[in-house]
Amino acid sequence: MQYQDFNFHTHTYRCGHAVKTEDDYIQSAIQSGFKVLGFSEHCGYEGFDSPRERIPFKEMDNYFSDIKNAEEKYKSDIKIYVGLEFEYFDDLNSYYTELKEKYDYLIIGQHLKDRKGYDYTYRCTDKDVRYMAYQVCTALENGFTKYVAHPDYFMLARDNYSKDCETAVREIVQCAKKNNAIVEINLKGMRYGIQQYDGYKSYKYPHSKTIEIYKEENAKVVIGYDAHNPQVLLQREYEEIARRIGEGLEILQDYREILFDKKR
């Protein structure tokens, strides 16, 4: 099997729930045959630090500088890009515009409803699912990202994939297509194992019904390792599973489609 030779969903110790430094991830990536590695640390927000969830806001500049230094250090071995995984909030458009100017790319990974503690990891009603789709689609429409991470992340907090879930994911996929963006098959979600639902089994995410929607909508997809440990980049067997369940989908070949135009 020919494996993807790039990964743009990579974290480091800075977010508080991943381990090891950028050097460790880069060395694992090289060992595993990757030619391109993008770092997408969980974005920090002024006045909303959460030490176990995202990089402290005051450390954002240091993170950027450290990854740029790594880009230079390893330039003869692997291509490095610096990005962020962010959540969309309506009142931060000027901040996202600044980030877009500075970073090579941004990933939208909507874990939060707001900056007051409402986390989709632990609760996500049908109404919340639709609002999450609004958040992701607004980020896409505003041009803040070309990469949608785990659009069915809400399944961590749910035991059923309702009609609203189907509608929300379909809205996200259609919006991504409209804005020349990519949706992700997230390998980290597989590590939660296969769950029993009403009459069928599936990973929580990527959920089987999400994959069905991808296929129905002819979505262009990317495989995201969502690495929180360098060893993940060596575990290619999860990519094999993703390719099996996503058989027939158009899997991204040119990673430059993830980058902002001026960074290509």
CA 193 to CA 180: how far, in whole Å? 31
What separation in angstroms does the CA of 175 have from each of 10, 111, 223?
24, 19, 19
Residue 263: per-residue pLDDT: 81
> Contact 42/72 with Cβ under 8 angstroms?
no
| Residue 77 DSSP one-character state | T
Helical residues (DSSP H) of the chain, grouped into ranges: 22-32, 60-73, 93-102, 126-141, 163-178, 208-216, 237-245
Cβ contacts of residue 192 below 8 Å, gap of 6+?
156, 203, 204, 205
Residue 264: per-residue pLDDT: 78
Asked if CATH classification 3.40.1360.10 holds for the domain at 6-258, the reply, yes or no, is no
Instruction: Please tell me the pTM assigned to this model.
Output: 0.97
Please list the helix, strand and coil fractions of the chain in percent, rounded to the nearest 5, in that order.
Answer: 45, 15, 40
Delimit the domains of the chain by residue range: 6-258
Instruction: List the chain pLDDT tens, one digit each, 264 residues.
Output: 789 999 999 999 999 999 999 999 999 999 999 999 999 999 999 999 999 999 999 999 999 999 999 999 999 999 999 999 999 999 999 999 999 999 999 999 999 999 999 999 999 999 999 999 999 999 999 999 999 999 999 999 999 999 999 999 999 999 999 999 999 999 999 999 999 999 999 999 999 999 999 999 999 999 999 999 999 999 999 999 999 999 999 999 999 999 998 787
CA 10 to CA 12: how far, in whole Å? 7
Residue 100: per-residue pLDDT: 98
